[in-house]
Amino acid sequence: MKNKVLICTAGLGLAALLVAGCGTRKHFNAHTARPLNNLASVALTNQFKAEWLRASDELFTLGPGDAVEVEIIGEPASRSTVNIGPDGKIYYYLLPGLDVWGLNLPQTRELLERELAKYVGTPQVAVTLKGAMSKHVWMLGRLSKPGIYNLAGPTTLLEAIAQAGGTARSESVTTTEELADLRHSFMIRHGQFIPVDFHRLMNEGDMSQNIYLQPDDFIYVPSSMSQEIFVLGAVRAVSTVPYKDQLSLASAIASAHGPIKNAYLSHVAIVRGSLSEPKVAIVDFSAIQKGKAPDVLLEPHDIVYVPLSPYRTLYRYVDMMLNSFVGTVAANEGVRAVSAGGPIGVSSPLPGGSGGAPAAP
């Protein structure tokens, strides 16, 4: 392994992996690694907002790929379905291309009436949405029909999961096994982790978690079968480390090729448990390297974060770690879905009417 990770033997046992070289540091024995005993619950700063549980009162705005039906009232022959092109423009009747990208239907109607008045007096125009393809939500992971789904009208998280066929299950003659890990499922909006508790929503029917989706929301449901450790932050290679029995913090960081220069090893964090209700332990990895403290054992789904600077406020530190984690996973899964030509979900029903490794905070 690169990055000067050494494997040494000492006495009867296998000595620890020494990250970034042995130097003059004392050796430590991996067999002395202990379970974490200082985990603390941390409240997240990005708590639920009341408006998330209400449908947006903003009108649908047009974008490339959408289709509208336009008709000059009183002239049935003028009825035509036009598509919004990649440039955001529509082409109708005698008009040159009209830019409607970002306009709602009433605004589009007013624009058409104003421009048509140059040719046909004082027309009255009807505009109806016929196809909504410009707004999407990402529904990936252990869903029956993962893909990128059109968002045409007010849609809740539960409705979107239903459209994606629900969470995946493995059915056998004797049992039905849940393949989705709801406690580690997550949602991202505008680059920020939204602390939805998927377990409470799906298994307990807690509608306080059933928020309305917005365009470009990203929902990811991981596999319940995965047994991995995530190593992020100031390491040479952000890594997903397969879990094995007695996997220690030192081994996990070594698998990520060790910390980078100037990493602040005294405040390495381990996040454990549900993403919506995480627990965290701060570990002095520098002391572990020097043999002054025992190594600690990890569990499947742990998130290990190596900072560049000491944290000042624990809850902000945890928020930053979770955003780093979900952002990394989302980027990888999104690229994988697109590059693999993943399935694209069906359109939602149309609404009625026409109306890196940052420093720790």
**Pair 243, 103 in one domain:** no
CA 267 to chain centre: 26
Which amino acid, one-letter code, is at 216? D
In the chain, how many domains are there? 2
Q: What is the pLDDT of residue 361?
A: 54
pLDDT tens string, the chain, 361 residues long: the values are 333 333 332 332 323 333 333 333 344 444 577 888 888 887 776 667 788 889 988 889 999 999 999 999 999 999 999 999 999 999 998 899 999 999 999 999 999 999 999 988 899 999 999 999 999 999 999 999 999 999 988 999 999 999 999 998 765 544 456 789 999 999 999 989 998 999 999 999 999 999 999 999 999 999 988 899 999 999 999 999 999 988 999 999 999 999 999 999 999 999 999 998 899 999 999 999 999 999 999 999 999 999 999 988 888 898 899 999 999 999 988 888 777 665 555 444 433 333 333 344 5
Q: Collapse the DSSP code of 142 into the 3-class scheme (helix H, G, I; strand E, B; otherwise coil) and give the result.
A: coil
Q: What is the pLDDT of residue 332?
A: 87
DSSP for 300-349 reads TT-EEEE-SS--S-HHHHHHHHHHHHHHHHHHHHHHHHHHTT--BPPPPP
Q: Which of 106, 131, 156 is the last residue of a domain?
A: 131
**Pair 47, 150 in one domain:** yes
SS3 content of the chain, % helix, strand, coil (to 5): 25, 30, 50
Q: Collapse the DSSP code of 51 into the 3-class scheme (helix H, G, I; strand E, B; otherwise coil) and give the result.
A: helix
Tokens 């990055």 locate to 3
Q: What is the pLDDT of residue 19?
A: 36
Q: What is this structure's pTM?
A: 0.78
- Domain of residue 99 covers 67-131
Q: What is the pLDDT of residue 251?
A: 95
Which amino acid, one-letter code, is at 202? M
**Pair 258, 342 in one domain:** yes
Instruction: Judge contact between 255 and 239, C-beta under 8 A.
Output: yes
Q: Is residue 20 part of a domain?
A: no
Q: Which of 131, 148, 171 is the last residue of a domain?
A: 131
Q: What Rg value do the Cα atoms of the chain yield, rounded?
A: 27
Q: What is the pLDDT of residue 177?
A: 60
Q: Is residue 210 part of a domain?
A: yes
**Pair 93, 41 in one domain:** no
Q: Is residue 246 part of a domain?
A: yes
Q: Is residue 110 part of a domain?
A: yes
Q: Is residue 24 part of a domain?
A: no
